[in-house]
Amino acid sequence: MRRILLAEPEKGGLAATWSDGTTSFWPAIWLRDQCACPVCRHPNGQRLFEIGDLPEHPQIGRVTLQGGSVEVVWQGEEHTSVYPPDFLYDSNLKTRQTPPIKLWGADLAALPEADWSQLERDPFEELAWLVSYHLHGFGLLRNVPARPGMVAEVGDRLGFVRTTNYGRLFDVVSEPDPNNLANTALGLGVHSDNPYRDPTPGVQLLHCLISDAPGGDSILVDGFAAAEQLREWAPEQFDLLTRVPATFRFADKDTDLQARTPLISVDTEGRICAIHFNNRSFAGIEGPVDVVESWYEAYRNFAQTLKQPERELVFRLAPGDLLVMQNERALHGRTAFDPNLGRRHLQGCYVDKDGLESRMRLLRRHIAKARQAAQ
């Protein structure tokens, strides 16, 4: 149990000492903005004021501990705010949490997997699988009934299926006159799907319905791990791939989709947050002429890094297996197969990343509530 032992105004904010001896500090403007009183927030939690309604420099007056919570009376306003210790702890600006991730390669000891019927029944199973999926950027579901359309049902349970020009779901089978190389029997190098969309699909689901053709094994590569390696080996090349956008395009008789994005995206703190890599739909770059050659060098290097055998997880999907991949991290491909000696039929769909994050938080909340009720 985390308790606050002492809370007092400090220059420009509030300082607190926790029962474990650590200290925290929150700037006054941040605290004032977080006030959760009925004047500041609707019962649904949404904020009722705008930033311009707050004093520019809120002044903390009296601070007291009330049943473990910190009560702040604001000077110059008739306003009192109460901050529960858990809220203060979770939103401690110094220990702000970023979702942990685990980089992997071919030697990943065990696939993050779960049995579908167990996951459907047991919120703990579902939460454990979602946590593992978020760590690794992909997860496998076993024994999902191998019937057409099931992939979209799973997509709607985990998030919200996004309809595209390929429909609500799409078939991956070998076709005589395909508009996409996915629908041939050719091997495919690892890639992210549809970087020609804005936004790029966040999550792809692929469900195996039939797999009795020789070949057609699945390949997965951790794009974040490969990009980290490039950053270590050739920082200037890494940098170039984060700064110069590439254009991706898909066109057929009904569509002309184009989007511009760097091959490697980093967030405001420099952490890798997305990879867009797809040689089939790469259209070109529009950077200044003098960077083109070095950009291509970096592109080639990154492609080789992605191809290292020690990065490749290779496994065979059996009917009923359903792969859920963060499309901008876990790059996927396949080996060639022989359509004359058997059939291979997958169905896929796209959902947004935030749907699965929401699902994970919701399960955490339900489980915490159930625990409290049981106590």
Residue ranges binding Fe ion (CB under 5 A): 193
Q: Which amino acid is at 217?
A: D
Residue corresponding to tokens 């692929």: 206
Nearer to Fe ion, 193 or 222 (CB): 193
Taking the C-alpha atoms of residue 265 and residue 160, their distance in angstroms, rounded to an integer, is 24
Nearer to Fe ion, 240 or 246 (CB): 246
Nearer to Fe ion, 126 or 193 (CB): 193
Minimum CB separation of residue 58 from Zn ion in Å reads: 11
Minimum CB separation of residue 357 from Fe ion in Å reads: 22
- The side-by-side arrangement of strands in the sheet containing 188-191 is 188-191, 330-334, 218-222, 313-315
Distance of CA 318 to the CA centre of its chain: 26
Q: Crossing angle of helices 223-233/289-307, nearest 10°?
A: 120
35 binds Zn ion (CB under 5 A): yes
Site string for Zn ion, 37-76 (x = CB under 5 A): x-xx------------------------------------
Nearer to Fe ion, 132 or 204 (CB): 204
Q: What are phi and psi of 144, to 5 degrees?
A: -85, 125
Between CA 281 and CA 287, with CA 286 as vertex, the angle to 5 degrees is 130
Minimum CB separation of residue 120 from Fe ion in Å reads: 27
HSE (side-chain half, CA atoms, 13 Å) at 229:
19
283 binds Zn ion (CB under 5 A): no
Quick one: what does residue 222 bind among Fe ion, Zn ion, none, with the CB cut-off 5 to 8 Å set by partner type? none
Quick one: what does residue 40 bind among Zn ion, Fe ion, none, with the CB cut-off 5 to 8 Å set by partner type? Zn ion
Minimum CB separation of residue 183 from Fe ion in Å reads: 11
Quick one: what does residue 292 bind among Fe ion, Zn ion, none, with the CB cut-off 5 to 8 Å set by partner type? none
> How would you class 93 by CB atoms within 10 Å of its CB: exposed for 0-12, middle for 13-18, buried for 19 or more?
exposed
Q: Give contact residues for Zn ion (rule: CB under 5 A).
A: 35, 37, 39-40
